[in-house]
Amino acid sequence: MDERLRRARLALLVSFLLQGVTFALLVTRIPGIQRQYHLGDGTLTVLLAAVPILAGVGSITSEQLVKRTSARAVLRVVQPTLCLTLVAVGLGSRLWSLVLALAAFGLLVGALDASMNMLGVGLQHRYGRSIMIGFHAAFSLGGIVGASLAGAGAHVRLLLLFGVTMAVLVPAALVVGRFLAGPGELGSAVQEAAAAAARSIPWRPLLPLCAAMAFSYIADSSVSNWSAKYLTETLKSGDGLGAFGYGGYMVAMLLGRTVGDRGVQRFGAAAVVRCGAVVSALGFVVAALAPTPWVGIAGFTVLGAGISAIVPQVFAAGGRLFPADSDAAVARLNLFNYVGFLVGSPLVGAISGAAGFRWALCAPLLLVLAVLPLGGHFAPARHQQVALDHAASRV
């Protein structure tokens, strides 16, 4: 394997890790942000709901920019700029400044997500084997680091925490950007992936998988956006301990992604997905009934183990459904990542405002259980028949 290709893969792994750190720092300090800007719960819910909408806009915009330049060029600009928006969040004290900072964060995180995954798909094409899970595992590792930093810096001002951390991350992003894969390493791989994504494949066989993806990310957004607030306000933890709800979730996510393939090989994808749904629901039950912060953290950790088993199998199942058009299937399924975030954050926020956080956690609990009857759609035998029917229709 070409040395430049290996170096480009390592650089992208670091980019995913840096994104995980940045995202975790923001979401684990939501209680502190709410206090600094004197936000009511309703206003906070609206702001958190707007971020995934703008992320979708940023993702679409990034696609157009990549066509004119390259995924590497977009990523090299977007990642350090995203880090600076976090500093802007810590700097302000008025609502309008927070709105501008979060709007920029949403647009940039969408562009970053799209460009990183484009590069990941391109590298995977060049390697000729699956390497995407490793990139997302790096994001999980970054989330653990970010949550740990937030916990350690719980008693310092947001500007100091974000400023010092970004003073490290921005130069790191600039250095890593020099080694990201470009046309010399990827050739036409990114363009081939984009062409595949534009192919026409039927939506109907994908809809059960789209639902499973949306339900999973509703659960994920419940943890990323609200776990710290639940731990600090309902379970009366300090900000430092509150950050470890998301931290425990990401630790379990990372561990699940390292052993998940073995479970699929031994028990099958359908069984792993159904088990993941049950474990996720159990995590929500533990968190909702938790008498102490540590029990709540344990619940979110269990939840991470369950979700980690579902999301990668959604992508894998889409690829099995349409083996000749796997990139197009994955691109469509990834849209429901944003759907989950768009629904999950305001759903939990609205219910918590009306009935409290314990009842609010019941909504994603029920939705993740809805993955159970969808488990059969992950079975390879069903995918083989759908793939044969699709291939016949194209002849």
Confidence of residue 98 (pLDDT cuts 50, 70, 90): very high
What's residue 1's pLDDT?
52
Check residue 309 and give its pLDDT: 79
pLDDT the model gives residue 192? 57
| 75, pLDDT greater than 70 | yes
**58 has pLDDT over 80:** yes
> What are the chain's domains?
1-198 (1.20.1250.20), 199-395 (1.20.1250.20)
pTM: 0.76
Residue by residue, DSSP assigns 371-393 as: TGGGGGGG-HHHHHHHHHHHHHH
- Contact between 25 and 74 under an 8 Å Cβ cutoff? The reply is no
pLDDT at 391: 43
Higher pLDDT, 368 or 225: 368
Q: If pLDDT is split at 50, 70 and 90, which confidence band does 381 have? A: low
Residue corresponding to tokens 């940023």: 58
Task: Give residue 194's pLDDT.
Answer: 53
Mean pLDDT over 139-164 rounds to 88
Helix axes 326-355, 362-369, angle to 10 degrees: 150
Q: Band of the pLDDT at 118, cuts 50, 70, 90?
A: confident
Residues 268 and 165 sit within 8 Å (Cβ to Cβ): no
Q: What is the mean pLDDT of residues 205-217?
A: 90
Among 65-69, 93-97, 200-204, 205-209, where is mean pLDDT lowest?
200-204
DSSP per residue over 212-265, as a string? HHHHHHHHHHHHHHHHHHIIIIIS---HHHHTHHHHHHHHHHHHHHHHHHHHHH
The identity of residue 249, as a single letter, is Y
**pLDDT tier, 195 (very low <50, low <70, confident <90, very high otherwise):** low
Tokens of 284: 């929500």
Residue range 333-359, pLDDT digits in tens: 777 877 887 788 788 888 988 888 899
Q: Is the pLDDT of residue 395 over 70?
A: no
Instruction: Tell me the residue ranges of DSSP E strands in the chain.
Output: none
Predicted confidence band of residue 219 (pLDDT cuts 50, 70, 90)? very high
| Segment 8-28, tens digit of pLDDT | 889 999 999 999 999 889 888
Q: For residue 53, is pLDDT > 90? A: no
Mean pLDDT across the stretch 361-384?
A: 83
Confidence band, pLDDT 50/70/90 cuts, at residue 189: low
Cα–Cα distance measured from residue 229 to residue 65, given in angstroms and rounded to the nearest whole number: 37
Taking the CA atoms of 317, 321, 323 and 324 in sequence, report the sign of the dihedral they define: negative
**What band does 253 get if pLDDT is binned at 50, 70 and 90?**
confident
pLDDT class of 392 with cuts at 50, 70, 90: very low
The stretch 316-334 carries a mean pLDDT of 71
* Of residues 66, 72, 328, the one with CA closest to residue 185: 72
83 vs 186 pLDDT, higher one: 83
